[in-house]
Amino acid sequence: MPRIGVFVGSSPLPITAEKMPVDLQTPWGSASAAPCKYTVGEYEYLLMSRHGEQHEFAPHQINYRANTWLMHSLAVDGLLGTYTVGSVDPVLAVGQLVVPDQLIDYSWGRASTFDDQLRHIEFTEPYDKALRQALLGAEASLFDGGVYACTQGPRLETAAEIKRLAQDGATLVGMTGMPETALARELEIPFAALCLVVNPAAGVSDDVIDMQALAEISATGGARMVEVLNQLAA
Ligand code: HPA
Protein backbone atom coordinates (compact mmCIF):
# COMPACT_ATOMS: atom_id res chain seq x y z
CA MET A 1 0.00 0.00 0.00
CA PRO A 2 1.61 3.31 -1.06
CA ARG A 3 1.99 5.70 1.84
CA ILE A 4 2.11 9.37 0.84
CA GLY A 5 2.84 12.16 3.26
CA VAL A 6 0.96 15.38 2.55
CA PHE A 7 2.00 18.76 3.88
CA VAL A 8 -1.20 20.76 4.19
CA GLY A 9 -0.98 24.55 4.07
CA SER A 10 -3.42 27.42 4.34
CA SER A 11 -6.13 25.48 2.55
CA PRO A 12 -7.29 22.90 5.09
CA LEU A 13 -8.40 19.56 3.64
CA PRO A 14 -12.01 18.84 4.69
CA ILE A 15 -11.74 15.22 5.74
CA THR A 16 -12.12 13.41 8.99
CA ALA A 17 -9.09 11.28 9.63
CA GLU A 18 -7.64 9.58 12.63
CA LYS A 19 -4.71 11.40 14.25
CA MET A 20 -1.62 9.19 14.50
CA PRO A 21 -0.24 8.63 17.99
CA VAL A 22 3.26 9.82 17.16
CA ASP A 23 5.89 11.71 19.11
CA LEU A 24 6.38 15.09 17.46
CA GLN A 25 9.95 15.33 18.73
CA THR A 26 12.67 14.65 16.18
CA PRO A 27 16.46 15.18 16.27
CA TRP A 28 15.66 18.53 14.63
CA GLY A 29 13.09 19.72 17.15
CA SER A 30 9.33 19.45 17.17
CA ALA A 31 7.24 18.86 14.07
CA SER A 32 4.26 21.17 13.47
CA ALA A 33 1.51 18.63 14.17
CA ALA A 34 0.77 14.92 14.33
CA PRO A 35 -0.24 13.59 10.93
CA CYS A 36 -3.75 12.27 10.38
CA LYS A 37 -4.13 9.03 8.48
CA TYR A 38 -6.58 9.12 5.57
CA THR A 39 -7.03 5.88 3.64
CA VAL A 40 -8.51 5.78 0.14
CA GLY A 41 -8.43 2.54 -1.79
CA GLU A 42 -4.86 1.31 -1.79
CA TYR A 43 -3.45 4.65 -0.70
CA GLU A 44 -2.61 5.77 2.78
CA TYR A 45 -2.22 9.55 3.08
CA LEU A 46 -0.55 11.04 6.15
CA LEU A 47 -1.74 14.64 6.35
CA MET A 48 0.29 17.11 8.39
CA SER A 49 -0.67 20.77 8.91
CA ARG A 50 2.65 22.48 8.33
CA HIS A 51 1.41 25.69 10.03
CA GLY A 52 0.33 23.69 13.11
CA GLU A 53 -3.13 22.65 14.23
CA GLN A 54 -4.03 26.20 15.26
CA HIS A 55 -2.24 27.72 12.26
CA GLU A 56 0.26 29.10 14.73
CA PHE A 57 3.49 28.92 12.68
CA ALA A 58 4.14 31.59 10.03
CA PRO A 59 6.06 30.39 6.95
CA HIS A 60 9.45 31.46 8.37
CA GLN A 61 8.69 29.83 11.74
CA ILE A 62 7.84 26.36 10.47
CA ASN A 63 10.29 23.64 11.46
CA TYR A 64 10.60 22.18 7.96
CA ARG A 65 13.37 19.80 9.02
CA ALA A 66 11.31 18.28 11.84
CA ASN A 67 8.24 17.97 9.59
CA THR A 68 10.15 16.24 6.80
CA TRP A 69 12.07 14.05 9.22
CA LEU A 70 8.88 12.90 10.95
CA MET A 71 7.36 11.92 7.60
CA HIS A 72 10.59 10.07 6.76
CA SER A 73 10.47 8.21 10.05
CA LEU A 74 6.91 7.16 9.18
CA ALA A 75 8.33 5.53 6.06
CA VAL A 76 6.43 7.51 3.46
CA ASP A 77 6.97 6.44 -0.16
CA GLY A 78 6.42 9.97 -1.42
CA LEU A 79 5.60 13.48 -0.25
CA LEU A 80 3.12 15.93 -1.63
CA GLY A 81 3.29 19.61 -0.72
CA THR A 82 -0.03 21.40 -1.05
CA TYR A 83 0.08 25.18 -1.31
CA THR A 84 -2.09 28.21 -1.79
CA VAL A 85 -0.33 30.56 -4.20
CA GLY A 86 -0.63 33.84 -6.01
CA SER A 87 -0.46 33.77 -9.81
CA VAL A 88 2.47 35.65 -11.31
CA ASP A 89 1.41 34.50 -14.78
CA PRO A 90 -2.07 35.96 -15.45
CA VAL A 91 -2.95 32.87 -17.51
CA LEU A 92 -3.39 31.06 -14.18
CA ALA A 93 -6.82 32.08 -12.93
CA VAL A 94 -7.99 32.07 -9.34
CA GLY A 95 -9.22 28.56 -8.55
CA GLN A 96 -6.80 26.84 -10.92
CA LEU A 97 -4.88 23.86 -9.54
CA VAL A 98 -1.29 23.69 -10.77
CA VAL A 99 1.43 21.05 -10.64
CA PRO A 100 4.64 23.09 -11.06
CA ASP A 101 7.78 21.58 -12.53
CA GLN A 102 10.36 24.09 -11.29
CA LEU A 103 11.05 26.40 -8.40
CA ILE A 104 13.12 29.41 -7.41
CA ASP A 105 13.93 30.01 -3.77
CA TYR A 106 13.86 33.61 -2.49
CA SER A 107 13.41 32.67 1.16
CA TRP A 108 16.21 33.26 3.63
CA GLY A 109 17.35 32.32 7.11
CA ARG A 110 15.52 28.99 7.17
CA ALA A 111 17.27 25.83 8.34
CA SER A 112 17.48 24.18 4.96
CA THR A 113 19.71 21.10 5.25
CA PHE A 114 20.09 18.05 7.48
CA ASP A 115 23.79 17.91 6.77
CA ASP A 116 26.32 19.17 9.27
CA GLN A 117 29.00 18.10 6.81
CA LEU A 118 28.90 19.75 3.41
CA ARG A 119 27.03 17.59 0.93
CA HIS A 120 25.72 18.80 -2.40
CA ILE A 121 22.50 17.27 -3.67
CA GLU A 122 21.40 17.11 -7.28
CA PHE A 123 18.33 19.35 -7.65
CA THR A 124 18.03 20.15 -11.37
CA GLU A 125 14.49 18.81 -11.38
CA PRO A 126 13.15 19.62 -7.90
CA TYR A 127 9.94 17.63 -8.32
CA ASP A 128 9.65 13.89 -8.86
CA LYS A 129 8.64 13.05 -12.41
CA ALA A 130 6.56 9.95 -11.61
CA LEU A 131 4.67 11.60 -8.75
CA ARG A 132 3.93 14.64 -10.93
CA GLN A 133 2.64 12.42 -13.71
CA ALA A 134 0.47 10.49 -11.25
CA LEU A 135 -1.07 13.76 -10.05
CA LEU A 136 -1.65 15.03 -13.57
CA GLY A 137 -3.27 11.74 -14.51
CA ALA A 138 -5.64 12.02 -11.55
CA GLU A 139 -7.56 15.01 -12.86
CA ALA A 140 -7.72 16.52 -16.33
CA SER A 141 -8.23 20.08 -15.10
CA LEU A 142 -4.80 20.32 -13.46
CA PHE A 143 -2.38 22.74 -15.11
CA ASP A 144 0.85 21.00 -16.06
CA GLY A 145 4.00 22.96 -15.27
CA GLY A 146 5.07 26.27 -13.85
CA VAL A 147 7.77 27.85 -11.76
CA TYR A 148 7.02 28.19 -8.06
CA ALA A 149 8.74 31.17 -6.43
CA CYS A 150 9.16 30.82 -2.68
CA THR A 151 9.21 34.17 -0.90
CA GLN A 152 9.90 34.76 2.77
CA GLY A 153 6.57 36.23 3.85
CA PRO A 154 4.59 36.49 5.93
CA ARG A 155 3.72 39.71 4.12
CA LEU A 156 2.63 39.54 0.50
CA GLU A 157 4.94 41.03 -2.11
CA THR A 158 5.17 44.47 -3.68
CA ALA A 159 4.22 44.91 -7.34
CA ALA A 160 7.90 45.51 -8.16
CA GLU A 161 8.92 42.27 -6.45
CA ILE A 162 6.34 40.33 -8.46
CA LYS A 163 7.56 42.01 -11.65
CA ARG A 164 11.07 40.83 -10.83
CA LEU A 165 9.80 37.31 -10.14
CA ALA A 166 8.05 37.31 -13.53
CA GLN A 167 11.25 38.47 -15.21
CA ASP A 168 13.06 35.60 -13.49
CA GLY A 169 10.56 33.18 -15.03
CA ALA A 170 8.33 32.50 -12.02
CA THR A 171 4.65 31.80 -12.70
CA LEU A 172 3.42 31.19 -9.13
CA VAL A 173 4.35 32.64 -5.76
CA GLY A 174 4.01 31.10 -2.32
CA MET A 175 5.89 31.12 0.98
CA THR A 176 6.38 27.51 2.08
CA GLY A 177 7.67 25.47 -0.86
CA MET A 178 11.21 25.74 0.44
CA PRO A 179 13.12 24.28 2.12
CA GLU A 180 10.77 21.29 2.37
CA THR A 181 11.25 20.33 -1.29
CA ALA A 182 15.04 20.21 -0.92
CA LEU A 183 14.89 18.48 2.46
CA ALA A 184 12.82 15.70 0.89
CA ARG A 185 15.48 15.33 -1.79
CA GLU A 186 18.19 15.03 0.88
CA LEU A 187 16.20 12.16 2.37
CA GLU A 188 15.61 10.73 -1.13
CA ILE A 189 11.83 10.99 -0.82
CA PRO A 190 10.03 11.66 -4.14
CA PHE A 191 8.29 15.03 -3.80
CA ALA A 192 5.66 16.85 -5.87
CA ALA A 193 3.67 20.05 -5.38
CA LEU A 194 -0.03 20.77 -5.82
CA CYS A 195 -0.83 24.49 -5.86
CA LEU A 196 -4.16 26.27 -5.67
CA VAL A 197 -4.23 29.80 -7.09
CA VAL A 198 -6.03 32.01 -4.57
CA ASN A 199 -5.18 35.49 -5.89
CA PRO A 200 -3.46 37.30 -8.73
CA ALA A 201 -0.08 38.27 -7.23
CA ALA A 202 0.64 41.93 -6.43
CA GLY A 203 0.27 44.15 -9.50
CA VAL A 204 -0.85 41.29 -11.76
CA SER A 205 -4.39 42.59 -11.83
CA ASP A 206 -5.35 46.28 -11.70
CA ASP A 207 -6.92 45.83 -8.28
CA VAL A 208 -5.19 45.52 -4.93
CA ILE A 209 -5.32 42.01 -3.53
CA ASP A 210 -8.66 41.27 -1.90
CA MET A 211 -7.57 39.62 1.35
CA GLN A 212 -11.12 38.59 2.20
CA ALA A 213 -11.56 36.79 -1.13
CA LEU A 214 -8.12 35.20 -0.70
CA ALA A 215 -9.12 33.85 2.74
CA GLU A 216 -12.44 32.57 1.40
CA ILE A 217 -11.01 30.63 -1.52
CA SER A 218 -8.22 29.26 0.71
CA ALA A 219 -10.84 28.05 3.18
CA THR A 220 -12.88 26.20 0.55
CA GLY A 221 -10.20 25.16 -1.94
CA GLY A 222 -9.08 22.17 0.10
CA ALA A 223 -12.09 20.21 -1.14
CA ARG A 224 -10.61 20.32 -4.65
CA MET A 225 -7.30 19.00 -3.38
CA VAL A 226 -9.06 16.14 -1.62
CA GLU A 227 -10.72 15.24 -4.93
CA VAL A 228 -7.27 14.97 -6.48
CA LEU A 229 -6.08 12.70 -3.65
CA ASN A 230 -9.16 10.53 -4.09
CA GLN A 231 -8.71 10.31 -7.85
CA LEU A 232 -5.03 9.52 -7.47
CA ALA A 233 -5.97 6.54 -5.35
CA ALA A 234 -8.87 5.44 -7.57
N1 HPA B 1 2.25 35.73 -2.47
C2 HPA B 1 2.87 34.84 -1.68
N3 HPA B 1 2.26 33.80 -1.14
C4 HPA B 1 0.96 33.62 -1.40
C5 HPA B 1 0.24 34.52 -2.21
C6 HPA B 1 0.92 35.63 -2.79
O7 HPA B 1 0.35 36.46 -3.52
N8 HPA B 1 -1.04 34.07 -2.25
C9 HPA B 1 -1.08 32.94 -1.50
N10 HPA B 1 0.13 32.67 -0.98
CB of 229 closer than 6 angstroms to any ligand 1 atom: no
Q: Which residues contact 194 (CB under 8 A, 6 or more apart)?
A: 80, 81, 82, 83, 97, 98, 99, 135, 142, 225, 228
Contact 107, 179 (CB under 8 A): yes
Q: Quickly state the pLDDT bin for 97 (edges 50, 70, 90).
A: very high
pLDDT at res. 226:
96
Q: Which amino acid is located at 196 in the chain? A: L
Q: What is the mean pLDDT of residues 114-126?
A: 89
What's the pLDDT tens digit per position in 160-179?
Answer: 999 999 999 999 999 999 99
Domain that includes residue 24, residue range = 3-115+122-233
What's the pLDDT tens digit per position in 187-218?
Answer: 999 999 999 999 999 999 998 999 999 999 99
**Which of 104, 199, 207, 214, when mutated, tests ligand 1's pocket best, judged by the most ligand atoms within 8 Å of its CB?**
199
pLDDT at res. 119:
83
**Per 3-state DSSP, what percentage of the chain is helix, strand, and coil (rounded to 5)?**
25, 25, 45
Q: Does the pLDDT value for residue 116 go beyond 80?
A: no
pLDDT at res. 174:
98
pLDDT at res. 18:
86
Q: Which residues pair with 18 in a beta bridge?
A: 37
CATH number at 172 reads 3.40.50.1580
In whole angstroms, what is the distance from residue 79 CA to residue 60 CA?
A: 20
What's the pLDDT tens digit per position in 121-133?
Answer: 999 999 999 999 9
What's the pLDDT tens digit per position in 13-45?
Answer: 999 888 999 999 999 999 999 999 999 999 999
Q: Does the pLDDT value for residue 117 go beyond 80?
A: no
Q: What is the mean pLDDT of the chain?
A: 96
In whole angstroms, what is the distance from residue 175 CA to residue 155 CA?
A: 9
Give me ligand 1 centre to Cα 85, in Å: 5
Q: Which residue's CA is the closest to the ligand 1 atom numbered 7?
A: 86
Total count of domains within the chain: 1
Give me ligand 1 centre to Cα 184, in Å: 22
On the CB side of 166, CA atoms within 13 Å amount to 18
